[in-house]
Structure 1
Amino acid sequence: MTVTPDIVLVLCVLLVVIILFIIDRVRVDVVGIIVMVGLPLLGLVTPQQAVSGLSSNAVVSIIAVIIIGAGLDRTGVMNRLARLILRFAGKRESRITAMVSGTVAVISGFMQNIGAAALFMPAARRIASQTGIPVAHILLPMAYCAIIGGTLTLVGSSPLILLNDLLVVQGKSYEHFGMFSMTPIGIMLIIAALIYFYLLGKKILPGCKQIRERGPLSPLLDKTYHEVGKIYEMVIPENGFTKKSLGQLRIRANYACTVLAAYNHVTHKRIVAPLSEDELSPGDCLAVVGPPMFVEKLARDFGWIYKDELKVFADDLAPANAGIMEGIVTPRSALIGKRVGDFQFRRKYGVSPLAIFMGHEITVSDLSVQTVSEGNALLLHGKWSAFHRLKDQNDLVFTEPIRGEEIREDKATAALTCLAISLFMILVLNIQLSIALFFGALCMVLSGVLSIDEAYLSVDWMTVFLLAGLIPLGLAFENTGAAKLIADSLMHMLGVPSPIVLLASIALLTSFFTLFTSNVGATVLLVPLSMNLALSCGCDPRAAAMTVALAASNTFVLPTHQVNALIMRPAGLRPIDYLKAGAGMTIIFLIVLVAGMRIFF
């Protein structure tokens, strides 16, 4: 096959795209749009092909699965998942990364990897927020393992699903692969990836600083209310304490500390903003906020054990879930003329008053008897969802944006049902991925889990346009014959290689193609070529075909794979970060794949 001007032109476009990704001067979604517009103007694809990416199965699936993930997050399902992971993994980055990545990899073996990654992404972001681990250090290994997880079973990725239909060459049909024929190799690849990130994670992952959890006050509020202190966790020993109510203890009046949460060791129930009549027993736990010297005196007087690291309340009082807000009393507020205690903030809204700022004085200990006037400032602690409810009453104007959003825990069952319906349609009814996922997203809206506006706002359009723009580039490779030319040239250069060289060459060629073209297109093109070459070399054509299907998952050095694109913005990644982390992963993937093929095939 000869080199045509169109082939040269499409290779130049590819080179420009790579350069733009590396120098990172143009945002990646803008690069995608440039490709989408430029290819039809150059005559390399038709106008219909240029915009076909916007309606492709991959892009539509991403939109739908992001909406489903947003619904699960909004109902608190991902919060519970994050809590479960932290319970087993603690706060060690290596253990958290391994647990999240390994779990997503296994799930990816039985459903599309984009779905597994998108569903776990909200939980991973919450874990990062609660532990202070940079979110990229969790999301990037998770994304790579989600991609690799597609090599675990015959239904784990599109190339493997197609594989048995392509096992025909020179008029002969070869034995089909079973559901778990490739599983040993997939397990080897996942283990290799986990070891890779465990050993080199700090060197290859983006060098962002670990987020240290600041005090309970924002920098703005800390200037005024610095005497409020820090949040401490207190444990009541089993001996030496008689059951009492919080009101009887008079903690605020005597120690200028405020009880933020209580834990009952018998019922295992945690209450944020507990009431004065709630009782404490030996073995229970409290979260209090106050100056260190007063907290120390409180613990000494009652014989309690205190620490400044939250364990029991690590999730409930994490910055992602709760915090402190300052509210200014409005002219039409129902608070005016009432005492702070009369308004019952804890009982009505689930928030704890910490202090009141009147004129130039801040009051903490005698807070409940203070009479509120217009313009006074109240300092309150509670869950972000509680602040959202309080904001709607128009009694207070908050001086800072409320960080969280209202969690609709009553809709958690509906959200899980929507997800289960989508998975049933995909795995049992064999309905196309995009249709099944969009049906689940639609159910999220119709069941009230999300409003339609919230569904629109949840979609990351940068990811959508990046992928939609790169899909036509793969079509241009096929239209111009550039893909076939490269494949034929390499096969011709190989001559009669040894089995190891043959498998390594096939894996390398497939890995190159899947960076810029769809993995399905690369598989359809390269399986027949590799099987023919294997026959001419006296090698097993089925092994060559399997190598192509598995190597189609070796796409780590650019954000062109849909999973890599999905996490790019949430993780704050740049194309150069993929190159840095993905180069080593690509090499390891090739080595382990070829070794596994030789061992098991």
Structure 2
Amino acid sequence: MAVRFTAARCRARPFPGLPLLTDYVSPPLLCGIILIGALALFISDKVRHDLIALSALFACLATGLVKFGDALKGFADPAVVTVAAVLVVGRALELTGVAGWVARSVIPEKAGFTARLTMLLIGGCFLSAFMNHIAALVIMMPLATELARQSKKQVGTVLMPLSFATMIGGMTTLIATPPNMILSSFREKALGAPFGFFTMTPVGLAVCAVGLTYLILLGWRLLPHRKGNEMTADSPWRVLELPLDARKVLVREDISRQLRQTRTRILGLLRRNQTIKWPKNNRVQSGDRLLLISRSLPAEIRETIDFLRGKETAEPGHVTARLMVPHNSPLIGETHDAVKSHSSGGLEVVAAGPRAATLRCALSVVPIQSGDQLFVSGPPEDIARFAANERLIELDRRDSIPVNLRTAIQTVAIFAAAILLVIFTDVPPSLSFLGAAALIAALRLIPKEEVYNSIDWSILVLLAAMIPVGGSFETSGAADFIAKSVGGVMTGFPLPLAIAAMCALTLCLTILLNNVATAVIMGPLAIQLAQLLHVQPDAMLLAVLVGTSCDFLTPIGHQNNLLIMGPGGYRFSDYSRVGALMSLLVIATTAVVLSLQYG
């Protein structure tokens, strides 16, 4: 059968004169195949998410599902611009130290555990409504570990509730998470107007109230208590190097026996940063060092044994902080010596986390990876500033970024003005927050190198590439086909049950994907389904919005859950142990509130 080409279709063809798969294969089926392939790669977690999105975009281009002229429109989409601008503004706000100061101020030091946990979770929830989830978690984690230590509880008791609190806070305002802005963009294209700044606040606040109540009264109690967990706040494992006294005869068995008194064991003998065998004559050379793993501080080890060279002299006012390296830290890929160079010689790594024990080599040559722990020594204000600049999470200390009052006032004023413009005028969020970011940079309220470093470019590329792919999901008819299939099942459902089903479907997809990809896929589907069921589109879109922020069942669906897995000593099943009931509560609350609001 001959294939007919209209003039419009010829102009849309990426390779004029050549046949396309859409000439022989149903476009909805073709789009479904591409999306399923992308989903499989997302789930495998073996390929970068931004690269998967670009691959899906090029597949849509090659098959004719996306026109050449539309391929790069995602990079100019208001949602992408807004996400980039909000990341810059949020980073500037974080670096002022004012968010941490507010969080510490509202948590009473002398109250009981329940009262302090309540304020900790409310603080994390509030911060995540106006800044990046990870930044909110970074600010609150030192307070969480301090609370665990003072209450004589394991740090895992509070970290998972805190992570969940920062996640549900992200559904309360337009700028809290990228999916909120993506869904707002879909709404504007379909209905002619985006979400308002506080459109999602009623359902968001209801979910926050129910979720926080659950976490405070029951959630933390469901976490298992594991004795001897190496990630407790009191005595974490650390890998360190100590210099040996070359004047003495050192028998390894005698040294091991002394070290056992301090919960320490030998990993190896280092000479010029290389691991060597123990000398047969039990004589070491000047400069040789022991590589140890211990639960004790270096000073405690020195007090117990007598075979080390020199004495440890602590600098007045210096402290040691345990820092964790998140996935977006600039230190990743560099060696531990980079801490000294990045801090202009003011700080040094005195020990590393347990991962270094498996390598059994000098810390100076060990490359830093995401999830590593660093024990950094130096002045408290320098450590706080360094942790903020390198995006490290402080686990064991309450020292925070010193608050620069002038900078803090100006930054908060600009941020508040941008929000007020969105609420009370017709200025779109993209222009309002882009202007705020530009003004903050122009006034030098954020270090110039941080202006672009604060943007997670992989998220922007993922967003920009998936937007036209999501558009093809709608224009190809795939969204309409799935909506009719799902709508056939849901026909006759009462509104609360239909909303609950949409929220649950999104939540299940978020477990497997990141929330950005989930929003891109579920947004068009929600609008199509709302039209078929003759319900308000906002009810379905907001159900999707809630679902994208609620991965409580696994550590892999949300970055915050992954960040706390190591420090909290969690196992994979611990998340569903606490998160299963919370997921049901969130779905039920969403269904009730949205059905009352839009029924």
TM-score normalised to structure 1 length: 0.53
Relative to structure 1, the CA distance from residue 219 to residue 293 in structure 2 (aligned partners, 3 Å threshold; closer, same or farther) is closer
Q: Distance in 1 between matches of 2:235 and 2:214?
A: 32
Q: 1:314-393 alignment to 2 at 5 Å?
A: 381-385=378-382
Q: Structure 1 pair 487/429, CA: closer, same or farther in 2 (3 Å)?
A: same
Q: Would you say 1:491 and 2:487 are equivalent positions?
A: yes
Tell me if structure 2 keeps the 8 A contact 1:523–1:549. no
- Alignment partner of 1:554: what SS? helix
In 2, the alpha carbon distance for the partners of 1:164 and 1:442 equals 25
Contact 1:510–1:522 (8 Å) recurs in 2: no
Choose from 586, 591, 594 the match for 2:591: 594
Note if contact 2:124-2:136 (Cα within 8 Å) is conserved in structure 1.
Answer: yes
Change (3 A) 1:477 1:318: same
Q: Shift in Å at residue 95 of structure 1?
A: 6.9
Map 1:211-250 → 2, pairs under 5 A: 212=233, 219-220=240-241
Can you list the C-alpha shifts for 1:60-115, whole angstroms capped at 9, x where unaligned? 222222222222232322331342255469896x877754554465677xxxx574
- Structure 1 residues 64 and 523 mapped into 2: Cα distance closer, same or farther (>3 Å)? same
Cα gap change, 1:498 to 1:29, in 2 (>3 Å): closer
1:124 paired with 2:124, answer no
CA, structure 1 residues 51+184, in 2 after alignment: closer, same or farther (shift >3 Å)? closer
**Cα deviation 1:238-270 (Å, max 9, x = unaligned):** xxxxxxxxxxxxxxxxxxxxxxxxxxxxxxxxx
Q: Structure 1 residues 66 and 128 mapped into 2: Cα distance closer, same or farther (>3 Å)?
A: farther
Equivalent AA in structure 1 for residue 95 of structure 2: R
Contact 1:61–1:434 (CA<8 Å) still a contact in 2?
A: yes
Query: What is the CA distance between 1:597 and its match in structure 2?
Result: 5.5
Do the aligned partners of residues 33 and 451 (structure 1) sit closer, same or farther apart at CA in structure 2, a change above 3 Å counting? same
Who is 1:438 aligned against? 434
Contact 1:53–1:471 (CA under 8 A) maintained in structure 2 = yes
Please list every run of 5 or more consecutive structure 2 residues that lacks an aligned counterpart in the other structure: 1-23, 149-154, 246-261, 263-297, 304-316, 325-335, 338-344, 348-375, 387-398, 510-516, 567-571
Contact 1:57/1:434 (<8 A) preserved: yes
Letter in 2 for 1:120: A
Contact 2:418 2:436 survives alignment (8 Å): yes
Structure 1 residues 451 and 486, CA gap change in structure 2 (3 angstroms):
same
Shift in Å, 1:215:
9.4
Task: Give the drift of 1:411.
Answer: 2.7
- Which of 43, 47, 58 is matched with 1:22 structurally? 43
Equivalent position of 1:52 in the other structure:
73
* Cα distance change of structure 1 residues 54 and 166 upon mapping to structure 2, 3 Å threshold: closer
Match in the other structure for 2:160 = 137
What does residue 354 of structure 1 align with? none
Preserved contact between residue 27 and residue 476 of structure 2 (Cα < 8 Å): yes
Aligned residue identity for 1:464: L
SS in 2 for 1:438: helix
Deviation at 1:515, TM superposition (A): 2.4
SS of the aligned residue for 2:444 comes to coil
Q: Distance in 1 between matches of 2:544 and 2:584?
A: 11
Tell whether 2:209 aligns with 1:191: yes
Are the structure 2 counterparts of residues 137 and 29 from structure 1 closer, same or farther at C-alpha, using a change threshold of 3 Å? farther
SS at match of 2:64: coil
Cα pair 2:507 2:551 within 8 Å, conserved: no
Q: CA deviation at 1:408?
A: 7.2
Corresponding residue SS for 2:446:
coil
Asked whether the 8 Å contact 1:39–1:473 carries over to 2, the reply is yes
Q: Decide whether aligned partners of structure 1 residues 435 and 32 sit closer, same or farther in structure 2, where only a CA change above 3 A counts.
A: same
Cα RMSD of the aligned pairs, angstroms, is: 5.9
SS at match of 2:480: helix
Distance change (3 Å), C-alpha of 1:293 and 1:181: closer
| Mapped partners of 1:582, 1:34: distance in 2 | 33
Distance 1:290 1:105, change over 3 A: closer
Task: Decide which of 91, 103, 118 is 1:70's aligned counterpart.
Answer: 91
3-state SS of 2:379 partner:
strand
Counterpart CA distance in 2 for 1:222 and 1:60 is: 53
Q: How many residues align?
A: 425
Structure 1 residues 77 and 318, CA gap change in structure 2 (3 angstroms): farther
Find out whether 1:33 has 2:54 as its counterpart.
yes
Post-superposition Cα deviations, 1:427-457, rounded to whole Å, max 9, x if no partner, equal 3334222222222222222222223222222
Structure index of larger Rg: 1
> Partner amino acid for 2:87?
I
Counterpart Cα distance in 2 of 1:57 and 1:181: 18
Provide the residue aligned with 2:457 in structure 1.
461
Aligned-pair CA distance for 1:145? 0.6
- Specify which of 410, 414, 420 is matched with residue 424 of structure 1: 420
C-alpha distance after superposition, 1:520-540 (max 9, x if no partner): 544543333222xxxxxxxxx
The residue type equivalent to 1:145 in the other structure is I
Cα distance in structure 1, aligned partners of 2:300 and 2:383 = 25
CA separation of 1:39/1:83 partners in 2, compared to 1, >3 Å: closer, same or farther?
A: same
2:548 aligns to what SS in structure 1? Answer: coil
Equivalent residue in structure 1 for 2:169, among 111, 122, 146: 146
1:553 to 546, 549, 562: 546
3-state DSSP of counterpart to 1:219: strand
Change (3 A) 1:5 1:212: same
Q: How far apart, CA to CA, are the structure 2 residues paired with 1:596 and 1:126?
A: 35
Q: CA-to-partner distance for each residue in 1:5-63, whole Å, 9 max, x for gaps? A: 22122222222233223332223333233323333223222234433333333332222
Q: 1:482 to 1:406 in 2, by over 3 A?
A: same
Separation of aligned partners in 1, 2:545 and 2:38: 21
| Residues 7/319 of structure 1: CA separation in 2 closer, same or farther (3 Å cut) | same
Conserved 8 A contact 1:85-1:96: no
Q: 1:100 to 1:57 in 2, by over 3 A?
A: farther
Superposed displacement of residue 416, structure 1: 2.3
DSSP 3-state at the match of 1:449: coil
Mapped partners of 2:544, 2:107: distance in 1 = 33
Report if aligned partners of 1:29, 1:462 keep a CA contact under 8 Å in 2. yes
Cα contact 1:116–1:146 (8 A) shared by 2: no
- Structure 2 distance, partners of 1:405, 1:87, is 17
Report the CA distance shift for 1:458/1:166 in structure 2 as closer, same or farther (over 3 A): closer
Question: Residues 422 and 436 of structure 1 are in contact (CA less than 8 Å); yes or no, is this contact kept in structure 2?
Answer: yes
**Match for 2:231 among 206, 210, 223?**
210
Q: C-alpha distance in 1, partners of 2:99/2:50? A: 28
Aligned to 1:61: 82
Q: How far apart are 1:549 and its partner, in Å?
A: 3.4
AA matched with 1:546: A
Q: Counterpart of 1:528?
A: 531
Structure 2 residue 13 is matched with structure 1 residue 13: no
Stretch moving more, 180-189 or 13-22: 180-189
> 2:466 aligns to what?
470
CA distance in 1, matches of 2:412, 2:34: 44
Which runs of 5 or more residues in structure 1 are unaligned?
Answer: 169-176, 225-229, 231-288, 295-312, 327-348, 352-378, 390-403, 532-540
- The 8 Å contact of residues 558 and 578 in structure 1, kept in 2 or not, is answered as no
Per the alignment, residue 515 of structure 1 pairs with 518
Counterpart of 1:383, as a letter, is P
Distance in 1 between residues matched to 2:33 and 2:430, nearest whole Å? 33
One-letter code of the match for 1:549? L
- Aligned-partner residue type, residue 434 of structure 2: F
Does structure 2 conserve the Cα–Cα contact (< 8 Å) formed by 1:49 and 1:472? Answer: yes
Q: For 1:58, give the aligned amino acid.
A: A
Which amino acid is the alignment partner of residue 539 of structure 2? M
